Amino acid sequence: MTQDRTTERAPERAQERSPDRYNAREAEPKWQKTWAERGIFRTRNDDPRPKFFVMEMFPYPSGRIHIGHGRNYVMGDVLARYKRMQGFNVLHPMGWDAFGLPAENAAIERGIHPKSWTYENIASMREQLQLLGLSLDWNREIATCDPSYYAEQQRIFLDFLDNGLAYRKESEVNWDPVDNTVLANEQVIDGRGWRSGAIVERRKLSQWFLRITDFAQELLDALDTLDRWPEKVRLMQRNWIGRSEGMEVLFEFTRASVSAGTLPAAAKAVKVYTTRPDTLFGASFLALSPDHPLAQHLALKDAALAAFIAECKRGGTSAEEIETQEKMGYATGLEVVHPLDDKRTVPVYVANFVLMDYGTGAIFGCPAHDQRDLDFARKYGLSVTPVVLPAETDPGAFVVDDVAYDGDGTLFNSGFLDGMSVPDAKEAVARRLERYRVGDEPQGTRRVNFRLRDWGISRQRYWGCPIPVIHCDACGPVGVPREQLPVALPDDVTFDRPGNPLDRAKAWRDVPCPKCGKPARRETDTMDTFVDSSWYFLRYASDNPQVPLDKDAVAHWLPVDQYIGGIEHAILHLLYSRFFTRALKKCGRVDLDEPFAGLFTQGMIVHETYKDTAGKWLFPEEVKLLGNGKAVKIADGSDVTVSPPEKMSKSKRNVVAPEVVADTYGVDCARWFMLSDTPPERDSEWTQGGIEGAWRFVQRVWRLVNEAVELGASAGSPRPDAFSPTALGLRRAAHGLVATVAEDIERLRFNVAVAHVHEFANAFGSAIAVARAEKAVPADLAFALREAAEMLASVVAPMVPHLAEECWVALGGSTLVAQAPWPKVEADLLRQDTVTLPIQINGKKRDDIVVPREATAAEVEALVLKLESVQRALDGRAPKRIIVVPQRIVNVVA
Ligand code: ANZ
Ligand code: ZN
């Protein structure tokens, strides 16, 4: 069945000249077995060679992988194999990000235990990855759901606790009032619980946090040192950390407001945070967050305010939700005095767009220069006074209508600030407010703020790493003694009811307090799965399971030289990992600041989508393409709608399984195709034509090598002293290939490497044609042919490793090319002593040829006539004319 397919889908098979066809389906499993048996990808920590650590972001074991998942692993593998050939001790590990919600959903929906679901998926995905021929050290494989892994994670948590880096605080969660359970954000769909459909409420729960904000400045500053990270990712992290410089300013209540009697006894002023103290004279209102203590206090005696606050909560309180909501406010009736002009008063609102956990939870609104404030002012009829005048603008003519002006300019309408630039005005206001006093506090204080929040890691779920804490009524939360770790997940739990099964696992939950021995209960929250992935790269360094986090091994291997993964992890995963590394250093567990020296974010693999007449998605193998965008269903010939390529996804069925490709073409073809054409950072389209092209090229390399074996010198033949132009041209091309592909791989320009191999194959093909035409191949050319074949096999070895091993055997090699050194280049041959001439046939460019720079027109002509493309065009006839323009172009008139 699959054999038939190969025949059918490899259209040029019949035209091949060589009877020897490379049989990937035989070769690939054979070499994979040999590599595994000889353990050649096993890495030792005491290996004296220089280290190179390359890893790809580890997969979530969701079920099966499709070829779209494979691209980053293949890229990492090319680098790993190349670096091995360069003499490095390479660490290239693999693991499983194995905790998470889907396993629990499978348990709920299909009654499979999350553990079996996960380990079954791991088994089948491991097999699929092995099929790709990846040079991984499977001895270091880890799964984050393995107690041996999470025991260390619990130890890390306790270290954080001891060092003040983990703490507990009240925080809001999504609460499903019907299922009586906390929901993850992704389980809230349009404000409703995914299963019950009930409107989700916000509830306060005591939860565990990690103090990432302690490291905000460091994490920001160190971004400048990560010069092998994409600028885009550094920028995203910078924005996420969100440092801003501003001021806290006190606004005192008016006498009337104080004597109204609604304020708490101690309340004299409201503190706001602003990055624009220069715009103070444009202030037209103050706004408190609905969660601000003062708003909460006022709501106790103001039912309308209480209702308003409740209304705000329904809209959600996350920054993203607030961003999209219509601005709403409630006038408290209170007023404050303007800090720079005590004759002016400003009304105080409670407003839905002010966040409690940023700045001070209160703002002053300057509508002319802030869009949110402007929307708010228009809605509630508040004044809009511009105070920053854009350059070259007439103050009398400048009005702010419904777009706030947030640009630069000169202050006006601003008393003592008039005429100043924005920075000067900021400084002048700061100086003045630092001098003024409110009680014994300065009225204004300079302040740096970060958008970054501490990391809430508590999840009310089963399938995660248990937080190693026991709650005692007398002692409070107590860390589980280290010798009792791991706190293992109990297997015996039920998923028949909503909520966290750990809450119901009495035998597991109820334990004595480690401090006082009184009855106590375990923490039933588990950790956010981002914790699991925040240190796995450190775990890989250890080759001793007894010491999962091994400081010396980390010092040896880290930082990761090249990390490869998707841009979707540009912020959270990478930032958390950077934080973990620094936090662990603070705890004395590692001696490292930054975990990833080099980062590469690869593009995705996209594929067309297919739908039948009933609107059902079809798999590519169910569809026959007819060309020019038309297709039919193979089963019944009915029409298929073809839509533009999209990210491969199971739901749209536009996926290709690695085993299908392996069976049909061999995985080397898949690898070659994934590396070809498209720059690796861009999305690449998987097409039938593309994979067939890769198949033809694999066959071509095989033929070239075999022809060179046939015509070339035997292994280890001595190097002749002199070379003919043809032999020299080939040698230059081969040595050039070795040098340029090395550089291409170092720079992760895999598509360029592929292009260089293609280019070389042409040169090699012409040289072989020259050799074939000889009665006896001269020794110099014979030497060059063998050398070129060995170099070609070596150079493609990182990319198409199975084919390369097979070529290596054909060349008489007794070792593995995977363990062979990268070929040595003779520097002399790299000098630009060759030129590439375009070949025009009947006025159209058809080919290129590389010739020695000093080649005579006659020599060039002879070489050109042997090119496959030229012979095809001539079809046995003599050319009408050949015009060689030395060092420029060759024109053939057929
Ligand atoms: C007055 C002002 C005038 C502001 C103006 C901006 C423009 P970044 O740069 O992100 O730090 N702000 C302060 N705390 C807030 C909170 N808890 N919720 C919502 N908004 C808050 O933003 C700082 C600015 O965001 C602050 O400067 C404040 O508005 C607002 F023409 O103060 B500004
Ligand atoms: Zn106790």
3-state secondary structure string across 312-372: HHHCCCCHHHHHHCCCCEEEEEEEEEECCEEEEEEEEEEECCCCCCCCCCEEEECHHHCHH
Considering Cα of 263, then 264, then 268, then 269, what sign does the dihedral take? negative
Closest C-alpha residue for ligand 1 atom 20:
354
pTM: 0.86
Phi then psi for residue 344, to 5 deg, are: -100, 140
Closest C-alpha residue for ligand 1 atom 12:
363
Task: Read off the pLDDT of residues 582-641 as tens digits, 9 standing for 90 and up.
Answer: 999 999 999 999 999 999 999 888 888 998 988 888 888 888 888 888 899 998 999 999
- pLDDT at residue 295 tops 80: yes
Closest C-alpha residue for ligand 1 atom 32:
274
Nearest to 669 by CA among 807, 796, 818, 756: 796
| Multiple choice CATH, 656-829, 3.90.580.10, 3.40.50.720, 1.10.730.10, 3.40.50.300 | 1.10.730.10
- d(C-alpha 269, C-alpha 75), whole Å: 59
Confidence of residue 652 (pLDDT cuts 50, 70, 90): confident
Contact 194, 188 (CB under 8 A): yes
- pLDDT at residue 9 tops 90: no
- pLDDT at residue 18 tops 70: no
Closest C-alpha residue for ligand 1 atom 7:
370
Provide mean pLDDT across the span 20-27.
88
Considering Cα of 414, then 416, then 422, then 427, what sign does the dihedral take? negative
- pLDDT at residue 654 tops 60: yes
- d(C-alpha 835, C-alpha 327), whole Å: 68
- pLDDT at residue 432 tops 50: yes
8-state DSSP, 799: T
What ligand is nearest to the CA atom of residue 411?
Answer: 1
What is the 879 CA–ligand 2 centroid distance (Å)?
98
Contact 291, 356 (CB under 8 A): yes
Closest C-alpha residue for ligand 1 atom 27:
274
Closest C-alpha residue for ligand 1 atom 29:
274
Q: Assign 3-state DSSP to the chain and report helix, strand, coil percentages, each to 5.
A: 40, 20, 35
Between helix 667-675 and helix 750-773 the angle, nearest 10°, is 110
Q: What is the pLDDT of residue 887?
A: 81
Which of 695-704, 790-799, 833-842 is the least confident region? 833-842
Question: Residues lining ligand 1, judged by CB closer than 6 Å?
Answer: 244, 273-276, 279, 289, 354-355, 358-359, 361, 363-364, 366, 369-370, 449
Residues in the chain, overall count = 894
Shortest-distance atom of ligand 1 to CA 369: 31
What is the 273 CA–ligand 1 centroid distance (Å)?
7
Closest C-alpha residue for ligand 1 atom 8:
244
Shortest-distance atom of ligand 1 to CA 244: 11
What is the 217 CA–ligand 1 centroid distance (Å)?
20
- d(C-alpha 628, C-alpha 633), whole Å: 16
Task: Check residues 706 and 203 and name the one with the higher pLDDT.
Answer: 706
What is the 443 CA–ligand 1 centroid distance (Å)?
18
Architecture of the domain made up of 243-450: Alpha-Beta Complex (3.90)
What ligand is nearest to the CA atom of residue 515?
Answer: 2
Q: Which amino acid is at 746?
A: E
Confidence of residue 489 (pLDDT cuts 50, 70, 90): very high
Confidence of residue 499 (pLDDT cuts 50, 70, 90): confident
- Distance of CA 102 to CAs 64, 646, 650, 681, 848, Å? 14, 23, 15, 29, 54
Task: Check residues 405 and 192 and name the one with the higher pLDDT.
Answer: 405
- pLDDT at residue 549 tops 60: yes
Confidence of residue 410 (pLDDT cuts 50, 70, 90): very high
What ligand is nearest to the CA atom of residue 519?
Answer: 2
Domain 834-893 has CATH 3.10.20.590: yes
Provide mean pLDDT across the span 142-170.
97
Beta-strand (E) ranges in 726-823?
A: none
- pLDDT at residue 101 tops 50: yes
Phi then psi for residue 182, to 5 deg, are: -80, 140
Neighbours of 842 (CB within 10 A): 11
What is the 477 CA–ligand 2 centroid distance (Å)?
8
656-829 and 834-893 have identical folds? no
426 marked ligand binding residue: no
What is the 364 CA–ligand 1 centroid distance (Å)?
8
Domain boundaries, the chain: 49-153+531-602, 243-450, 605-647, 656-829, 834-893
Closest C-alpha residue for ligand 1 atom 19:
354
Shortest-distance atom of ligand 1 to CA 242: 10
Q: What is the pLDDT of residue 324?
A: 75
What is the 423 CA–ligand 1 centroid distance (Å)?
16
Q: What is the pLDDT of residue 153?
A: 98
What is the 472 CA–ligand 2 centroid distance (Å)?
5
Ligand 1 pocket test, pick from 363, 376, 449 with the greatest ligand atom count within 8 Å of Cβ, gives 363
Provide mean pLDDT across the span 17-32.
80
Q: Which pair of tokens denotes residue 825?
A: 């280049």
What is the 129 CA–ligand 1 centroid distance (Å)?
49
Ligand 1 pocket test, pick from 274, 320, 448, 453 with the greatest ligand atom count within 8 Å of Cβ, gives 274
What 3-state class would DSSP assign to 846? strand
Q: Which amino acid is at 892?
A: V
- pLDDT at residue 648 tops 90: no
Mean pLDDT, the chain, as a whole number?
92
Q: What is the pLDDT of residue 627?
A: 80
Which of 153-167, 172-186, 525-539, 563-577 is the least confident region? 172-186
Ligand 1 pocket test, pick from 247, 250, 276, 403 with the greatest ligand atom count within 8 Å of Cβ, gives 276
Provide mean pLDDT across the span 854-873.
88
Neighbours of 461 (CB within 10 A): 25
The CATH code belonging to domain 49-153+531-602 is 3.40.50.620
* Residue 477, preceding peptide bond in cis (omega within 30° of 0): no
- d(C-alpha 407, C-alpha 400), whole Å: 12
What ligand is nearest to the CA atom of residue 520?
Answer: 2
| β-strands 437-438, 599-601 pairing | unpaired
Contact 351, 327 (CB under 8 A): yes
| β-strands 243-252, 269-274 pairing | antiparallel
Provide mean pLDDT across the span 807-830.
94
Provide mean pLDDT across the span 701-727.
94
What ligand is nearest to the CA atom of residue 518?
Answer: 2
Task: Check residues 664 and 781 and name the one with the higher pLDDT.
Answer: 781
Shortest-distance atom of ligand 1 to CA 388: 31
- Distance of CA 867 to CAs 32, 486, 723, 876, Å? 37, 69, 20, 13
Closest C-alpha residue for ligand 1 atom 28:
274
What is the 560 CA–ligand 2 centroid distance (Å)?
43
Confidence of residue 2 (pLDDT cuts 50, 70, 90): very low
Closest C-alpha residue for ligand 1 atom 10:
244
Q: Which residue has the tokens 């105070």?
A: 387
Q: What percent of the chain has a predicted confidence (pLDDT) above 70?
A: 97
What is the 420 CA–ligand 2 centroid distance (Å)?
63
What ligand is nearest to the CA atom of residue 273?
Answer: 1
Closest C-alpha residue for ligand 1 atom 14:
359
* Number of H-type helices and E-type strands within the chain: 29, 39
Provide mean pLDDT across the span 281-309.
96
Ligand 1 pocket test, pick from 320, 358, 382, 451 with the greatest ligand atom count within 8 Å of Cβ, gives 358
Q: What is the pLDDT of residue 273?
A: 98
- pLDDT at residue 217 tops 60: yes
What is the 473 CA–ligand 2 centroid distance (Å)?
7
Contact 376, 330 (CB under 8 A): no
Nearest to 82 by CA among 859, 738, 611: 738
Which of 210-224, 304-318, 541-555 is the least confident region? 304-318
Contact 362, 270 (CB under 8 A): yes
Neighbours of 120 (CB within 10 A): 13
Which of 346-355, 593-602, 719-728 is the least confident region? 719-728
Q: What is the pLDDT of residue 17?
A: 31
Provide mean pLDDT across the span 130-159.
97
- d(C-alpha 247, C-alpha 443), whole Å: 10
Q: What is the pLDDT of residue 11?
A: 36
Q: What is the pLDDT of residue 15?
A: 32
782 Cβ contact list (under 8 Å, min separation 6): 711, 712, 713, 717, 771
- d(C-alpha 410, C-alpha 424), whole Å: 10
Closest C-alpha residue for ligand 1 atom 18:
354
What ligand is nearest to the CA atom of residue 447?
Answer: 1
